[in-house]
Chain A
Amino acid sequence: MTTEELIAARRAEPWRVELRGSMKNKERTAIPRVKMNELDPEYRSHTRVEEVNLGLTKEQALSEAKRCLDCPNPTCMQGCPVGIHIPTFIKNIERGEFLEAAKVLKETSALPAVCGRVCPQEKQCESQCIHLKMGHEAVAIGYLERFAADYERESGNISIPAIAEKNGIKIAVVGSGPAGLSFAGDMAKRGYEVTVFEALHEIGGVLKYGIPEFRLPNKIVDVEIDGLRQMGVRFEKDCIVGKTISYEDLHTYGFKGIFVASGAGLPNFMNIPGENLVGVMSSNEYLTRVNLMDAANPESDTPVLKGKHVAVIGGGNTAMDSVRTARRLGAERAMIVYRRSEEEMPARLEEVKHAKEEGVEFLTLHNPIEYIGDERGRVRQMRLQKMELGEPDASGRRRPIPIEGAIETVDVDEVIVSVGVSPNPLIPHAFQGLDISKKGTIVVEQDTMRSALPDVYAGGDIVRGGATVILAMGDGRKAAAAMDAQLRP
Chain B
Amino acid sequence: MNKIVNKEHFSANVVKLEVEAPLIARSRKAGHFVIVREGEKGERIPLTIAGADTEKGTITLVIQAVGDSSRKICALNVGDYLTDVVGPLGQATHIEKVGTVVCAGGGVGVAPLLPIVEAFHKAGNRVIVVLAARTKELIILEEQMRQNSDEVIIMTDDGSYGTKGLVTDGVEAVIQREKVDQCVTIGPAIMMKFVAALTKRYEIPTVASLNTIMVDGTGMCGACRVTVGGKTKFVCVDGPEFDAHQVDFDEMIMRLGAYKDMERK
B residues in contact with A376, CB < 8 Å: 254, 257
B residues in contact with A243, CB < 8 Å: 27, 87-89
Q: Of B149-157, B185-193, B219-227, which stretch is located at the interface? A: B219-227
A residues in contact with B262, CB < 8 Å: 303
Does B223 contact A285, Cβ atoms closer than 8 Å?
yes
A residues in contact with B42, CB < 8 Å: 301
Q: Total contacts A to B, CB within 8 angstroms?
A: 111
B residues in contact with A245, CB < 8 Å: 23, 27
Q: Mark B25-61, 1 if CB is under 8 A from A, else 0.
A: 0010000000001010111100000000000000000
Does A276 contact B225, Cβ atoms closer than 8 Å?
yes
B residues in contact with A237, CB < 8 Å: 84
A residues in contact with B24, CB < 8 Å: 244
Given A244-B88, A303-B259, A284 contacting B220 (CB threshold 8 A): yes
Query: B137 within 8 Å of A by Cβ?
Result: no
Does A301 contact B218, Cβ atoms closer than 8 Å?
no
A residues in contact with B251, CB < 8 Å: 276, 377
Does B255 contact A276, Cβ atoms closer than 8 Å?
yes
Query: B138 within 8 Å of A by Cβ?
Result: no
Does B215 contact A288, Cβ atoms closer than 8 Å?
yes
B residues in contact with A271, CB < 8 Å: 232
Q: How far is the CA of A244 from the CA of B24 in the complex (A)?
A: 6
Query: A199 within 8 Å of B by Cβ?
Result: yes
Does B43 contact A301, Cβ atoms closer than 8 Å?
yes
A residues in contact with B226, CB < 8 Å: 276
A residues in contact with B263, CB < 8 Å: 303
B residues in contact with A266, CB < 8 Å: 219-220
A residues in contact with B41, CB < 8 Å: 294, 297, 299-301
Set B23, B44, B222: member contacting A282, Cβ < 8 A: B222
Query: B167 within 8 Å of A by Cβ?
Result: no
* Chain B residues bordering chain A, tally (CB within 8 A): 40
Query: A275 within 8 Å of B by Cβ?
Result: yes
Q: How far is the CA of A45 from the CA of B236 in the complex (A)?
A: 35
CB contacts under 8 Å to A, within B72-108, are 72, 83-89
- Chain A residue at minimum C-beta to C-beta distance from B221: A285
Q: Mark B196-236, 1 if CB is under 8 A from A, else 0.
A: 00000000000000000001101111110111000010000
- Chain B residue at minimum C-beta to C-beta distance from A265: B220
Does B44 contact A424, Cβ atoms closer than 8 Å?
no
- Chain A residue at minimum C-beta to C-beta distance from B263: A303
Query: A278 within 8 Å of B by Cβ?
Result: yes
Does A285 contact B43, Cβ atoms closer than 8 Å?
no
Given A278-B254, A301-B43, A424 contacting B219 (CB threshold 8 A): yes
Q: How far is the CA of A281 from the CA of B234 in the complex (A)?
A: 13
* SS of B interface (majority): mixed
Does A302 contact B222, Cβ atoms closer than 8 Å?
no
B residues in contact with A377, CB < 8 Å: 251, 254-255, 257
Does A285 contact B218, Cβ atoms closer than 8 Å?
no
Q: Mark A375-386, 1 if CB is under 8 A from B, else 0.
A: 011000000000
Q: How far is the CA of A278 from the CA of B254 in the complex (A)?
A: 7
Query: A269 within 8 Å of B by Cβ?
Result: yes
B residues in contact with A275, CB < 8 Å: 232
Set A244, A279, A424: member contacting B87, Cβ < 8 A: A244
Query: A305 within 8 Å of B by Cβ?
Result: yes
Query: A389 within 8 Å of B by Cβ?
Result: no
Nearest Cβ on chain B to A267's Cβ, whole angstroms? 5
Q: How far is the CA of A239 from the CA of B35 in the complex (A)?
A: 11
Does B86 contact A244, Cβ atoms closer than 8 Å?
yes
Q: How far is the CA of A489 from the CA of B37 in the complex (A)?
A: 42
Query: A450 within 8 Å of B by Cβ?
Result: no
Given A245-B27, A276-B232, A301-B43, A201 contacting B37 (CB threshold 8 A): yes
A residues in contact with B84, CB < 8 Å: 201, 237-238
Nearest Cβ on chain B to A125's Cβ, whole angstroms? 30
Query: A289 within 8 Å of B by Cβ?
Result: yes
Q: How far is the CA of A122 from the CA of B257 in the complex (A)?
A: 45
Query: B173 within 8 Å of A by Cβ?
Result: no
Q: How far is the CA of A302 from the CA of B223 in the complex (A)?
A: 13
B residues in contact with A278, CB < 8 Å: 254-255, 257-258
Query: B182 within 8 Å of A by Cβ?
Result: no
Does B221 contact A244, Cβ atoms closer than 8 Å?
no
Q: How far is the CA of A238 from the CA of B44 in the complex (A)?
A: 12
CB contacts under 8 Å to B, within A166-223, are 199-201
Q: How far is the CA of A225 from the CA of B218 in the complex (A)?
A: 23
Given A240-B86, A243-B89, A305 contacting B220 (CB threshold 8 A): no
- Chain A residue at minimum C-beta to C-beta distance from B90: A243
Query: B8 within 8 Å of A by Cβ?
Result: no
Does B222 contact A285, Cβ atoms closer than 8 Å?
yes
- Chain B residue at minimum C-beta to C-beta distance from A269: B232
Q: Mark B238-265, 1 if CB is under 8 A from A, else 0.
A: 0000000000000100110111001100
Nearest Cβ on chain B to A326's Cβ, whole angstroms? 16
B residues in contact with A300, CB < 8 Å: 41, 43
Does B218 contact A265, Cβ atoms closer than 8 Å?
yes
Does B221 contact A282, Cβ atoms closer than 8 Å?
yes
CB contacts under 8 Å to B, within A373-410, are 376-377
Q: How far is the CA of A240 from the CA of B227 in the complex (A)?
A: 27
Nearest Cβ on chain A to B136's Cβ, whole angstroms? 33
- Chain A residue at minimum C-beta to C-beta distance from B23: A244
Query: B69 within 8 Å of A by Cβ?
Result: yes
Query: A162 within 8 Å of B by Cβ?
Result: no
Does A288 contact B216, Cβ atoms closer than 8 Å?
yes
Q: Mark A297-315, 1 if CB is under 8 A from B, else 0.
A: 1011111010000000000
Nearest Cβ on chain B to A174's Cβ, whole angstroms? 13
Q: Knowing that A200-B216, A377-B257, A424-B219 touch, tell me 9 more A-B residue pairs with CB under 8 angstroms.
A: A238-B84, A244-B86, A244-B87, A269-B222, A278-B257, A288-B216, A297-B41, A301-B69, A377-B254
Supply 5 A–B pairs (Cβ within 8 Å), ascending by A.
Answer: A239-B86, A267-B221, A281-B223, A302-B43, A302-B44
Which 7 A-B pairs give the minimum distances between C-beta atoms? A377-B254, A265-B220, A285-B221, A302-B43, A238-B86, A301-B43, A303-B262
Residues of A that sit less than 8 Å from B by CB: 199-201, 237-240, 243-246, 265-267, 269, 271, 275-276, 278-279, 281-282, 284-285, 288-289, 293-294, 297, 299-303, 305, 376-377, 424-426
